[in-house]
Amino acid sequence: MNSRLVSVLCLAAAVGTAALTPLAAASKHHHPCAYACKVAWLDPAGGTDHIASGTSVTIVRAALGSPLRELAPDVWVYRGFHADLDAANDDDCDMLIVTFAHGVVADLKLVNEAAVGILATAADKPARTRRYASAR
């Protein structure tokens, strides 16, 4: 191999490595994360000290107000929560997703903004037609 070709390959490898390093570092903070949450503790001055499975829609709305976003009529997103788990805080999981079933809280998750974005995109897509196949 001639020296010019070797130099070009070395330069391309060096530039490629340098260009990918910031992307790898940036992607660490933009990956979707979700953590199960049994109880969301609130300010006791608001009249309700926590929200958990079984809490009614009325109590959630009274305690937290209108959601930041509704992913579906029974899936609400609130911002401004802090986990008691360092990993969740490191992943910027400061959003609470409250899922209702039959008028009460069925599930709580602490998520980051990337996870909400993915869930919102999935919720906005129209339902796909299912196709079934059968053997004759």
Q: Where are the domains of the chain?
A: 31-124
**pLDDT at residue 4 above 60?**
no
52, 40 contact by CB (below 8 A):
yes
Element containing residue 78 per DSSP (H, E): strand 75-79
Tell me how many helices (H) and strands (E) the chain has: 4, 7
**Strand 95-101 with 75-79, pairing:** antiparallel
Cα separation, 80 vs 92, in Å, equals 10
Cα separation, 8 vs 18, in Å, equals 15
Q: Residue 3 — very low, low, confident or very high, per pLDDT cuts 50/70/90?
A: very low
**pLDDT at residue 73 above 60?**
yes
**pLDDT at residue 133 above 50?**
yes
Q: Residue 124 — very low, low, confident or very high, per pLDDT cuts 50/70/90?
A: confident
68, 77 contact by CB (below 8 A):
yes
Task: Give the count of beta carbons closer than 10 Å to the beta carbon of residue 79.
Answer: 12
Q: How many CA atoms lie within 13 A of 67 on its CB side?
A: 20
Q: What is the mean pLDDT of the chain?
A: 77
Mean pLDDT calculated for residue range 31-54: 84
pTM for the full model?
Answer: 0.69
CATH of domain 31-124: 3.30.1450
Mean pLDDT calculated for residue range 20-47: 69
Q: Residue 84 — very low, low, confident or very high, per pLDDT cuts 50/70/90?
A: confident
**pLDDT at residue 17 above 70?**
no
42 vs 74, which has greater pLDDT? Answer: 74
